[in-house]
Structure 1
Amino acid sequence: LTQFSHFIDILYWVFGDVANVHATFSNFNHQEQIEFEDSGMVTFDFVKGGKGSINYSISCWEQNMESSITVIGEKGCLKVGGQYMNEISYFNVKDMEKPDLAATNPPNSYDGFMGSAGNHYQFLHDVIDHLKGRKSNGTNAYEAAKVVEIIDKTYQHRDLKELKAKANVNR
């Protein structure tokens, strides 16, 4: 789940807490490298109303394929996507113009692997500014704890058939 925790941050920030979580996970391509799943599907209800789902995989060959979030509502729909979730690929919202996104930095390169979006330095600058008293925090410990709680809730409600299958393989 650490592979999509940023999306849980976004979902919590925009829509609030979740309930009725159901999840299933698999490790298709990284059994020898990692002890957690490389792919998963999670469905849930938002406490304030609405439903959500997350599908993720880090099993794409050689590079990140896409990161996206789609919102379908009664007064509009939008999709923010692209390889690093840096493009508005669909926008149809009542009484709103499609916003222009600023150009982004190129992705980070780790010894030939093209990884995350190249904007982590902005986060580090924000942390430093906050610690030096030049800026107030954009989030707080409660919100961070809620995101961890949602991740924990997801693992608690994972598909039990999958856990039984893993237990039988390890015998």
Structure 2
Amino acid sequence: MLKFSLLGYGHIGKVHRQAIEETIGAELISIIDMNLQDEDLDVKTYTTLESFLTEDTETDVVIIATPNGLHREHAVRCLNAGKHVLIEKPMALTTDRAQEILTVAESKGLRVFSSMQLRFSPPVSYVKQLLENNCLGEIYMVNIQCYWNRNKNYYKTREWHGTNEMDGGVLFTQFSHFIDIVNYWFDEVTCTNSSFYNFNHQGITEFADSGKLDFKANEAAGNMIFTTSTYETNYESSIVIIAEKGTLKIGDQYLNELKYSNLKNVVCSEKNLSTTVKNFHPKAIAEIVEAIAENRSSVLDGHHAIRLVQFIEESYNLAEIKQD
């Protein structure tokens, strides 16, 4: 039985708790959060990380579900205390901080996992298999579109959201999974051009709410358009692949729907591949349990997550250069 402790018990922390409870071979033994004084959670609780690291002798894996800007500090402290870590996306807000986490883990002989659970979505896995088997031939284009809404209330009710120091921007907090999936499908993804805009979050966030990116995915031309400024509600999220032997579109916020498929010599059912499941965290917890038990590599290993941080950092740096 792999024993987990949860650092941070906000919205995503509660999602992780449910995932652990649904996973055979996983057990939640404690929760660490400064705002737990009046809650009866049926597990041991700590109000500070210091007290947990001093007293705990059982935890195998700490899930880091704190604000983005604290991921590096909290992960390093838990690793130095002898715990494996699962870090909510993003792994860190800079490549250097992400690499520091991996360096500490290697020195301690411990594992770092990142919460990249959409890799377990059936349509995502299906496209991965098509690419690995060269069923699509030459890939011409990869297009990402993310049209979401994050209103003023979203930022005002979450004090750390909206700041560069703790949030990092919409590519980190809202849209990182879409970039990660392209990283999962292709060996090399590099941002080549970027533009950022702040349409209706002036005075609300310290960063842009929208942007356009150009990138290379292996030899394919890629682009990404994203915004949190759509009217009232989320509109659409999708990734489209245009290839020599077919066209594919997967969509929804959780990339759990195969929207379109027209492939040469390949017949698939869009209905059968799509799923109503939107929470793939239990699959991620099960993967971590198995990877540690079998002492094998994992698609959730932290070195995969560094590519995501590098890409976003590249996009910000290119935008700064263009403004000079």
Measured after TM superposition, the shift of residue 68 of structure 1 is: 0.3
Say which one has the larger Rg: 2
Q: Which runs of 5+ in 2 are unaligned?
A: 1-170
Q: 2:181 aligns with which of 3, 6, 10?
A: 10
Give 1:7-156 correspondences, 5 Å limit: 7-19=178-190, 21-46=192-217, 48-82=218-252, 84-99=254-269, 100-105=272-277, 117-120=278-281, 122-124=283-285, 126-127=287-288, 129=289, 133=293, 137-156=298-317
Identity in percent: 35
Question: Can you list the C-alpha shifts for 1:5-35, whole angstroms capped at 9, x where unaligned?
Answer: 1111011110222336100011111122211
AA in 1 matched with 2:263: V
**Distance (whole Å) between structure 1 residues aligned to residue 209 and residue 295 of structure 2:** 37
**Distance (whole Å) between structure 1 residues aligned to residue 203 and residue 248 of structure 2:** 38
**Distance (whole Å) between structure 1 residues aligned to residue 294 and residue 231 of structure 2:** 43
Contact 1:23–1:41 under 8 Å retained in 2: yes
Contact 1:66–1:84 under 8 Å retained in 2: no
Q: What is the DSSP-based 3-state SS (H/G/I as helix, E as strand, rest coil) of the residue aligned with 1:30?
A: coil
Question: Can you list the C-alpha shifts for 1:103-128, whole angstroms capped at 9, x where unaligned?
Answer: 324xxxxxxxxxxx44445445555x
Q: 1:52 to 1:104 in 2, by over 3 A?
A: same
AA in 2 matched with 1:140: D
Question: Can you list the C-alpha shifts for 1:69-106, whole angstroms capped at 9, x where unaligned?
Answer: 0000001110112354332221011111224225324x
AA in 1 matched with 2:276: T
**Distance (whole Å) between structure 2 residues aligned to residue 134 and residue 102 of structure 1:** 30
| Greater share of residues in helix | 2
Q: 1:21 to 1:101 in 2, by over 3 A?
A: same
**Distance (whole Å) between structure 1 residues aligned to residue 279 and residue 191 of structure 2:** 35
Q: What is the DSSP-based 3-state SS (H/G/I as helix, E as strand, rest coil) of the residue aligned with 1:138?
A: coil
Q: TM-score, normalised by structure 1?
A: 0.74
